[in-house]
A and B are shown apart, each in its own frame.
Chain A
Amino acid sequence: MKSKKMPRIAIALVAAATAATALAACGNNNDDGTSGDTATLTWWHNMNTDPGLSYWQGVVADYEAAHDGVKIDMQVYQSEDLRNKLKTALQSADAPDLFQQWGGGELRDQVEAGFVKDITSDVAAELAVIGSGNAAGWQVDGKTYGLPFTLGIEGIYYNKDLFEQAGITAVPTTLPELDAAIAKLKEAGITPISLGGQDSWPAGHWYYNFALRECSTATMTETGGSLDFSDPCWEKAASDLKAFAETEPFNDGWITTSAQQGAGSSAGMLANTQVAMELTGIWESGVVGSLTPDQKVPEFLGWFPFPSISGGKGDPTAAMAGGDGFSCHTQAPPECVDFLKYILSDAVQEGYAATGSVPSNPNAYTGLTEPLLQDITDQAKSVKFTQLWMDVAFGNNVGTAINTSTVALLQGQLSAADFVKALQDAAATA
């Protein structure tokens, strides 16, 4: 290091490298792919396995055939990969035009950063069909920035055969009935409920549902905006759940159990008759189906809504719900919205329903061939209020805090009061 030039070179290099990084971060320009009469739409989503994958490839081919000059470049990714990739891609020059949108707090962030097209005036008809309450997760300040293509309510999936074996004659409709059913299952030597604690969100979903029963619809909606958890119902829900967990309803080793990966996962245990119940979203029949030896949704699989809790302020028919949607990038060509409308049309949604998924367009329920899904969508008709998943609706930060704190609550590491404090702390940094 005798030469005096070295430090100067070093400084120059640091400056250059820093500048390059900064420039990369600032490059928000998006090529809209329009040139003359042809337009190319890039479309990113997570339906990367069959039957979904081939179905959507067919949809793309149909649309291209009907629209001269429009080319759709469909790229599929695994769910978590897609979330991470989208985050950086949206700010880069090669952002997708149409992309998967989970809605809620993440959408709000994207909208505030100016990446998402306001499609309010274009999709009024589609919004009316889906129901504006159901699409609330894809709206920010009254404007629509995306629409769900699949949507469904949450409930408890159960094994009818194991219930019968344990002498349970009717599905539980109240919390004491659920407790009684758990006791009977244990007596019969059957693990009552599987829980994918390793992924933490499956634990969070138990809290969401207890909170949905304890908190009034108004509180629920207000908290989505204020992130204020001071209403006593939030702590009551936590203490209810803690008391429920103390009856040890979950499978041994739930904390290292994953939600959907393989036979040892919580869904896999339900698929392979090792547990009687699992609380989860509308995707369950597909996941369970893929984890059985014959790759079919087993006949023993049934569904009932989350039980009511006496004294709770929540609407007893209210349900947690969620779905996947799509948004258009602000720089996307106009064909993007048109293709989104096509995806939500009755015909395309009906075909999607036949692949074993629940469409967001209720007119397409006629396409459902899976009896279990027909049953769930029938029962969903009596649901007057749906709440989007809290880890989506309340934003990444508070949502993750709810999920991880619920694991700690179930483990007995947190009291109900500390649980609420953890949520308040997370909300303070949001």
Chain B
Amino acid sequence: MSHPSTGGSRVAAPPQREGHGPASGGDASALPAGSGRRGRTAWRQRFEITVLTGPALIVFLGFVIAPVIVAAYCGFFNWNGYGPLVKSVGFDNYIAVLKDKNFYEALGHNIFIVVMSLLCQGPLALLVALLLNKKMKGRSALRVLLFVPYVISEAIIGVGWRLILGTGQTGGALNALLDNIGLGWLQHYWLDNGSAIWVLLGICTWKYLGYAIILFLAGMQGIPEELSEAAAIDGASYWKTQWHITLPLLGPTLRIWAFLSIIGSLQLFDLVYVIWGKAAQFTGVSTMASYMVQSGRDMGRWGYGNAVAVVMFLISLVIALAYQRFVLRRDTEGSLTEGR
């Protein structure tokens, strides 16, 4: 059974290029380990390791690790953003974060989006991917169309949806459309308290569905046709084939996709900020990141904001590590775990 892992590694490649923390370091170190066995000198091997991993390491350390360390340090101070850090407050900022109910509210919204994104996007993307995996007319065009929302910047999408859903009394295109087709009774203040979080979920699903579909399609390409042909000869129905062959062999792809989706949902910020702005906290769509901006930057409490950032980082890290340890382990064995 070497094929599933082939599919898996092919699918796993794009996320690593995006630099999602732990994955990128392991990826780079795995390369020379395979090519260094041909009896080259130790010096040369070291040189290669340095040259190949150096740039990635510098970027990773400089733009990921160092800022986290600096942020953790700043989190110990009461700092208004000017001058040196002098007012040390110990763990007060961190304790305040963990005591603030607004933070838990924001965390709750993140978790809601994490869970619901998996539940909504997963099955939906899988069905569409199965459809698009069939040979049919206009398949490429459909694939491109479904991928378009993912390509457009979140800021632009945010502005677009804000105009469609409408703000304030004037409402947007959607309410006008409902009115004009005789469904005026369905009009609603979509971005207000109550419906806001569902609207956010809907927009997230719409935007990231294409990404999931492309991942799943790539995974499906890696599944040899012989298997489903064999199943067909044995008399298995289409759905039975998908259930017993495609789905299990798509496992690595599904697990990587879920990982990226979880991390993305935990870091959700742009859409919320562009669509709701400061109203996010009043309409039930605040996220950890929007809370950080609101309680840190907007209030001029930079030390506190840094503490929020660190808490957010730790939550994401724990979730990411736990997921790698318990879910991704079988897919990444050998590439991420070797040498530990």
Determine which of B49, B50, B169, B282 lies in contact with A269 in the assembled complex, contact meaning CB atoms within 8 Å: B169
Give the docked Cα–Cα distance between A84 and B298 (Å): 10
**Which segment of A107-115, A133-141, A163-171, A361-369 sits at the interface?**
A107-115
Q: Of the candidates A9, A114, A199, which one forms a contact with B83 in the assembled complex, judged by CB atoms under 8 Å apart?
A: A114
A59 contacts the other chain (Cβ, under 8 Å)?
no
Q: Does B283 contact A (CB under 8 A)?
A: yes
Contact B66 A256 (CB under 8 A): no
Q: Which A residues touch B81, using CB under 8 A?
A: 87, 109
Bound state CA distance, A265 and B162, in angstroms? 13
A43 to chain B, nearest CB (A): 21
Quick check: A254 and B168 within 8 Å, CB to CB? yes
A68-97 to B contact mask, C-beta < 8 Å, 1/0: 000000000000000010010011000000
Asked if B61 contacts A109 (CB within 8 A), the reply is no
- Size bracket of the A interface: 35 or more
Within 8 A of A (CB), among B153-212: 166-171, 189, 191-193
Asked if B46 is at the interface of the complex by the 8 Å CB criterion, the answer is yes
Chain A nearest CB, measured from B138 CB (Å): 38
Measured CA separation A200–B169 after assembly (Å): 17
Interface centre among B49, B70, B83, B193 (most CB of A within 10 A): B83
- How far apart are the CA atoms of A267 and B193 in the complex, in Å? 23
Would you call B82 and A91 a contact (CB within 8 A)?
yes
Is the pair A21, B66 in contact by a Cβ cutoff of 8 Å?
yes
Whether A18 contacts B69 in the complex (CB less than 8 A), given A109-B82, A191-B169, A257-B169, comes out as: yes
Cβ-defined partner of A397 (8 Å) among B29, B170, B283, B301: B301
Contact flags A194-222 to B (C-beta < 8 A → 1, else 0) = 10011110000000000000000000000
Bound complex: CA A109 to CA B193 (Å):
36
B281, CB-defined interface residue at 8 Å:
yes
- The answer to whether B168 touches A264 (Cβ under 8 A) is yes
In the complex, the answer to whether B279 meets A197 with C-beta atoms within 8 Å is yes
A84 vs B61: C-alpha distance when bound (angstroms): 26
> Which residues on A sit within 8 Å (CB–CB) of B19?
none
In the complex, which residues of chain B have a beta carbon less than 8 angstroms from the beta carbon of A274?
A: 169-170
* Contact residues of A: prevailing secondary structure: helix
Known A-B contacts A191-B169, A257-B167; the reply to A112 vs B82 at CB < 8 A is yes
| Contact across chains for B168 and A109 when beta carbons are under 8 A apart | no
Q: How large is the interface on B (under 10, 10 to 19, 20 to 34, 35 or more residues)?
A: 35 or more
| A264 with B300: CB separation less than 8 A | no
Please tell me if A128 contacts chain B, counting CB pairs below 8 Å: no
Distance, CA A194 to CA B167, complexed state (A)? 13
Compute how far the CA of A114 lies from the CA of B304 in the bound complex, rounded to whole angstroms: 23
| Contacts from A to B (Cβ < 8 Å) | 1-3, 5-6, 9-10, 13-14, 17-18, 20-22, 26, 84, 87, 90-91, 106, 109-110, 112-115, 191, 194, 197-200, 251-258, 263-266, 269, 274-275, 395-397, 400-401, 404, 407-408, 411, 413, 426, 429
A-B contact pairs, 21 of them (CB 8 A): A9-B50, A13-B62, A14-B61, A18-B69, A20-B62, A109-B80, A109-B82, A109-B300, A197-B282, A199-B278, A200-B279, A253-B167, A254-B169, A256-B192, A258-B168, A269-B170, A396-B299, A400-B298, A408-B282, A429-B78, A429-B96
Which 10 residue pairs of A and B lie closest in terms of their CB atoms, listed nearest first?
A: A396-B300, A257-B168, A113-B83, A113-B82, A17-B66, A264-B170, A256-B167, A198-B279, A251-B169, A17-B62
17 more CB-based (< 8 A) A-B contacts, given A191-B169, A254-B168, A255-B283: A18-B66, A87-B81, A110-B82, A113-B82, A113-B83, A194-B168, A198-B276, A198-B279, A199-B278, A252-B168, A253-B191, A255-B282, A256-B192, A263-B170, A269-B170, A396-B300, A413-B282
Contact residues of B with A, CB < 8 Å? 29, 46, 49-50, 57-58, 61-62, 65-67, 69-70, 78, 80-84, 96, 166-171, 189, 191-193, 276-279, 281-283, 294, 297-301, 304, 339
